[in-house]
Amino acid sequence: MSYATATSVSLIGITGRLVRVQAEPAAGRPSLVILGPDGRSMHEARDRVYAGLTNAGLPLPGHRVTVSLPPSDDPTPGSGLDLSMAAVILATGGLFAAAALDAAALIGEIGLDGTVRPVRGVLPMVNAATDHGVRTVVVPAANAGEAQLVAGVTVVAVDSLQQFARWASTGQRPPAPKPTTDGRLGTGDGHVSDLGHVAAAMTTARWALEVAAAGGHHLGMVAPPGAGKTLFAQCLPSLLPDLDDDAALEVTALRSAAGLEPPGGALVRRPPFRAPHHSASLPALLGGGPRASYPGAVSLAHHGVFYLDDAPKFGHRALAALRQPVDAGQVMLTGAGRTVTYPARFQLVLGAQPCPCARPIGADPCDSCTAQDRRRYLARISPLWQRTDIRLQLAVTNPRDATTGESSAVVAQRVARARDMAADRWAALGYMVNAEVPGEVLRTGVCALPTCDIDPLLHLLRVGAVSDDGHDRILRVAWSICDLRGADRPDLDDVTAAIDLHVVRQP
């Protein structure tokens, strides 16, 4: 009989934490006791592990074994620790030396038939293990593709307890899964369209979408059915550049934590696109589940686009709750006595119809809705609308004017150049796009524009046509317009164009 210790990883949000699982043999009748971090017995884990070992045909120790997880603020760390618990039990029985477990992190759920089942969040778990110096990880074979995305780690993929025991006893690794290659897949749910599908006649709307992509600006649209709101929203991700390594790893980790398989076993390199239905629940939008363990749609849109179609139809609670991720770039969830933070920095796109009946034609409102009905309907999204930088009022185009415009590939090149200029300008301050820059930076110091260039904006501010916040948002859009034309600083024309894109219509 020998004392054994194994390392595993628990997941809180998309942050992995190392857990030391310990097993102590003792004289007495053969039995198995698993103590959780709070000191209570973990009956479900005990039953899974015991049944898995029995049905796998592996010898159980002929003595009493107590397995203990160290105290922590996570009383139920999840089934991903099953494999490490099975490992220390086998080590106390002498099936292999306890030292065989010293250099590896073990992750996986044990099935009742002795299989090693996949778990959510393997990518951030393995990433956390490597951050703590672990260079070998044992994971379920179904999760091997995710684990291989982390550089500098040796992945041992097992699909059964027998395979694991063979590796621990002899060092013989199961056949390695095919290595994955970095891909350009993954846009979340929803369809991404090409800007070439948008009629060239919609000059202002196409230009607004390009400016929004260049500066990372939130966008709002009011238009009747058939005007192309959803098409515009679906085009926005196609104008954005590929995600860098850090962003791609973060987006892929969020998908892993949500139980979504990384596309093609590769990092998600394209900005995600999420378009939840207006009937979606708060947990579906923001995240939730047991112990707040699932990221929601706002987090799955991180570094991408989050589109609310028919935004006034979303519930009041949902619209109010979305203010936090829009403002802070993250969402904080509380469950089972703990707080979990998920990143949620995205470009918001709002789509709304002019009135609740959804029967307006062109620019003419319907006959059945009064002006008060329309104001009350659009006022539902006012808190989010006030957070948009660019605001459009679209009309249904004539099918005869549906000539082809520039494709997304062409426009994306201009967007990339503009983003590079912005990133170089704000690098010393730690900002990447103009939409992130605080208004104070734009209004003071070397970035302050001459009065002659911002006089129209100052006039709107004096007469109350725009708020202080609106003033700053217009300045940010002006800098994006300036970047698109390759200039060093915005001029009067850039500021005037930014005003036209912002002061269009407010619900």
Mean pLDDT for back-to-back runs of 10 residues, the chain (507 residues) = 86 89 86 80 87 92 87 73 93 90 94 93 94 94 90 93 93 70 44 84 89 97 88 94 93 91 78 94 89 88 96 94 94 80 95 80 66 87 94 77 79 97 94 94 89 93 92 96 95 96 67
**Kind and range of the H or E run holding 204:** helix 203-215
DSSP characters for 398-448?
PGGG--B---HHHHHHHHHHHHHHHHHHHGGGT--SGGGS-HHHHHSGGGP
Rounded Cα–Cα distance for residues 117 and 410 (Å): 45
Name residues whose C-beta falls within 8 Å of residue 175's C-beta, 6 or more positions apart in sequence.
none
Going from the N-terminus, what domains does the chain have, and what CATH number goes with each?
4-170 (3.30.230.10), 195-411 (3.40.50.300)
Question: Hey, what are 505's tokens?
Answer: 């219509």
3-class DSSP string for 98-115: HHHHCCEEECCEECCCCE
Name residues whose C-beta falls within 8 Å of residue 209's C-beta, 6 or more positions apart in sequence.
195, 198, 219, 232, 235, 236, 239
Q: How many C-beta neighbours within 10 Å does residue 147 have? A: 26
The pLDDT score that the predictor gives to residue 62 is: 82
Rounded Cα–Cα distance for residues 385 and 351 (Å): 10
The pLDDT score that the predictor gives to residue 180 is: 47
Contact 65, 33 (CB under 8 A): yes
Contact 400, 484 (CB under 8 A): no
27 CB-contact burial (10 Å; exposed 0-12 / middle 13-18 / buried 19+)? exposed
Q: Number of helices (H) and strands (E) in the chain: give both, helices first.
A: 19, 18
The pLDDT score that the predictor gives to residue 202 is: 83
Of the candidates 294, 250, 296, the residue with the CA atom closest to the CA atom of residue 271: 250
The pLDDT score that the predictor gives to residue 396 is: 78
Q: How far apart are the first and last CA of the chain?
A: 73
